Structure 1
Amino acid sequence: MNTGSIGMGKITIDSLLSLEAYHKARPEMRQRAIAERKLRTVHLGEHLTLIFENEFLMRYQIQEMLRVEKTFEEEGIQDELDAYNPMVPGGSDFKVTMMIEYPNEADRKIALSKLVGVEDRIFIEVEGQPRVYVLADEDLERTTSEKTSAVHFLRIPVSVAMKEALKAGAQMMVGCDHKGYPMHVETLPHETLASLVTDLS
């Protein structure tokens, strides 16, 4: 069984480790997941965090859920796969978990009401290519007219031209142009960008 090579395919039941096998593999997988998540996290200012998910991170998440819930029936395993597989990049997109973070709950409440629609104003801009905005929460609406949610799931389509530019070494800007939170990161660390490019087949 494989412990999670990064692939473009969806995660399947027969590619997962049994609870017993995962127990043995867990320390190593956990260490790798922590390092990979850190590498693939982009902070837009102090309050917006974007985690670019990949196959391995979703595989780790599924294995953790199965471990915590002691799930070994096929139906339960399939439920977890159905929940996390949509966040595995498909080869021509990035999949991102976006979090709006304020340590103080009162501040967070105010921010969430001021930042309605912020999830639709996240973009990437590959050097020499047009800016592309995310498609937010395709599975479920997470915003009301009064407030946005603290967590959103984003998909960022990546065109063939963008892929080719990135693979040839182009830089990529990541940003937000919501009027209540204008913020961008002009250049990503080389290691981060290299990791993100592996999502593109």
Structure 2
Amino acid sequence: MNAAIKRRIERDDIMPMAEYEAGRKERRKDLVAVKRHRRVETGPVCTFYFENYETMWHQVQEMLYIEKGGEEQIEDELNAYNPLIPQGRELIATVMFEIDDPVRRKAFLSKLGGVEETAFIEIDGVDRIVGKPEEDVDRTTADGKASSVQFIHFPVTDAQAEAMKVPNTRVVIGFTHSHYSHMAVLTEEARAALAADLA
């Protein structure tokens, strides 16, 4: 698999379950290494997981392995996860707000409505990319409660892509939401990993 080139998981990319299961432990270990520089903690309870072909391929295979839906399940999984593979001039993140205590989590998310509209990536302190939530479903309810999981696209211009590819460029991700205005500076390894998505 060449994650830097492939932009869509096709039916033929899906590994037979017996073959996947035989090498599952090793593949999961390899995936941890891939995800290491694609995971960015932002503030006390939020993590951005930047997706690519490889992370989504593993997700599809895992869903098929866990749910054992066979051939009938494959199309549903491809339809669910292909939209989260960057298409060359975008970055895509699964954003998770992780709070173990259910009472605290409910109170926190009730104040976070619209947070998905305030995510951004800033390059060199001047060029800001505003995130766009995945359009499949509204992740803020009418009463202002946010979902704990968000899918956010960051459309990138050619100039922004070139700037992100320059070694040691300062890249910041964060939110401008009034109840969660946290930011994080990408490590050089994370910047390089995300820049590779912008072929």
TM above 0.5, yes or no, is yes
Residue number in structure 1 paired with 2:31: 33
Count of residue pairs the alignment pairs up: 196
CA contact (8 A) 2:6 2:53 kept: yes
C-alpha deviations, 1:146-185, integer Å up to 9, x for none? 2111111110111100111111222211111111111111
Please tell me the residue identity of whatever aligns with 1:184: M
**How far 1:144 sits from its partner (Å)?**
1.3
Residue number in structure 1 paired with 2:114: 117
SS class of match (1:96): strand
Residue number in structure 2 paired with 1:161: 159
Q: Which of residues 38, 42, 45 is equivalent to 1:44?
A: 42
Please tell me the residue identity of whatever aligns with 2:182: M
Distance in 2 (alpha carbons) for counterparts of 1:118 and 1:130: 20
More deviation, 128-137/112-121: 128-137
Distance in 2 (alpha carbons) for counterparts of 1:137 and 1:113: 20
Please tell me the residue identity of whatever aligns with 1:120: E
Q: Give the TM-score, by structure 2 length.
A: 0.93
**How far 1:34 sits from its partner (Å)?**
2.0
CA contact (8 A) 1:8 1:89 kept: no
Q: Which runs of 5+ in 2 are unaligned?
A: none
SS class of match (1:156): strand
State yes or no: 1:184 paired with 2:183: yes
State yes or no: 1:106 paired with 2:103: yes
Distance in 2 (alpha carbons) for counterparts of 1:63 and 1:125: 33
**How far 1:85 sits from its partner (Å)?**
0.5
SS class of match (2:173): strand
RMSD: 1.4
Alignment of 1:64-143 (within 5 A): 64-73=62-71, 75-127=72-124, 129-143=126-140
**How far 1:65 sits from its partner (Å)?**
1.0
Please tell me the residue identity of whatever aligns with 2:96: M
C-alpha deviations, 1:100-147, integer Å up to 9, x for none? 122211111111111111111110011164211100131111211321
More deviation, 166-175/148-157: 166-175
CA contact (8 A) 2:113 2:140 kept: yes
Q: Give the TM-score, by structure 1 length.
A: 0.92
